Amino acid sequence: MISKALQSAYFDAKPDATIPEQKVVFGTSGHRGSSLTTSFNENHILAITQATVDYRNLQGFGGPVYVGRDTHALSEPAQLSVLEVLAGNNVVAMVDSNNRYTPTPAVSVAIIDHNSQVAKDSGALADGIIITPSHNPPQDGGIKYNPPHGGPADSDATGWIANRANELLLSGMTGVKRAEPNPKIFDYLNHYVTQLDRVINLELIRSSGVRLGADPLGGASVDYWGAIADRYQLDLTVINQSVDYQFGFMSLDWDGKIRMDCSSPYAMASLIENRASFDISTGNDADADRHGIVTADSGLMNPNHFLAVSIEYLYGSRNWLE
């Protein structure tokens, strides 16, 4: 029932950009809200996508837009809105070939690989749109923009896009172009998984016999962990392969809300409780650009400690120039 109510409100409620709570506001590279509070609705996504097209035209980005979505209930209708505007502007949209969920890292790798094959001044640079509110509760939706470098957009880009989107909302959507979606398909999963061993020594992990557990927390990595385990013959167990718009399998966060926050000991409680089953286990947020690490001996790691050790290792083993 929650998905029906959210999706109905997504199309029916019309935001008023003179009300601060209903304006487009980009936070960490994206806009988030709920259709039930008129902060994430069809007009928001139409306006944001048109503003993104206007921005990329201004920057001279003429390649395809790689489009991904997570498992939140609002992500599917929002993707339809994105594809309508991209089609209306004759922008090539790349969507998952299996009509499945797409982690942000898979979109990023697709953008980077495309752009490595074209000249920077060719006008053929690709970028991306990912429909996700990250770890936010089930009733929320989100959308973010990844420029040609593949990572999150900076505040100059998001500020421009947000301002332009609010102008479109205030104008009654004048200037928003829509058409029947006509995306091209792209095998995000195979493209990502098959080149993972170029950046990670997966043979060493396999031969070590380390026992790994991975919990997608109901998010977009749900198909990816099993594919990684199968291809590289890892001792890796996908702990929960469920996808549920209500995320009813999640333990409640500190304030009693459901969040797929892999840095929270409350949201990661099930992994922590079963930590002895694996040497290392991990959980992802809904678009899989964040992770939490749980070890058998100490439980949930401080992410800054893990990142510091990872950075030290990479700089010491990859011969990176300073």
- Under the banding of pLDDT at 50, 70 and 90, the label for residue 2 is low
pLDDT-derived band at 313 (thresholds 50, 70, 90) equals confident
- The residue among 69, 100, 111 whose CA lies nearest residue 224 is 100
- Judge whether residue 1 has pLDDT over 70: no
Dump pLDDT digits (tens) for 23-48.
999 987 699 999 999 999 999 999 99
Task: Give the Cβ contact number of residue 108 at 10 Å.
Answer: 21
Instruction: Cite the beta strand spans of 109-229 per DSSP E.
Output: 127-131, 140-146, 184-186, 212-215
Q: What is the mean pLDDT of residues 173-193?
A: 98
pLDDT at 4: 86
What domains are there in the chain, each with its CATH number?
Answer: 2-189 (3.40.120.10), 194-317 (3.40.120.10)
Instruction: Map tokens 């396999």 to a residue.
Output: 206
Q: What is the pLDDT of residues 107-145, one digit of tens each?
A: 999 999 999 999 988 899 999 999 999 999 999 999 999
- How much is the pLDDT for 143? 98
Can 39 be counted among the known catalytic residues? Answer: no
Which position among 34, 39, 134, 270 bears the catalytic label? 134
273-302: average pLDDT: 94
Percentage with pLDDT > 70 across the chain: 98
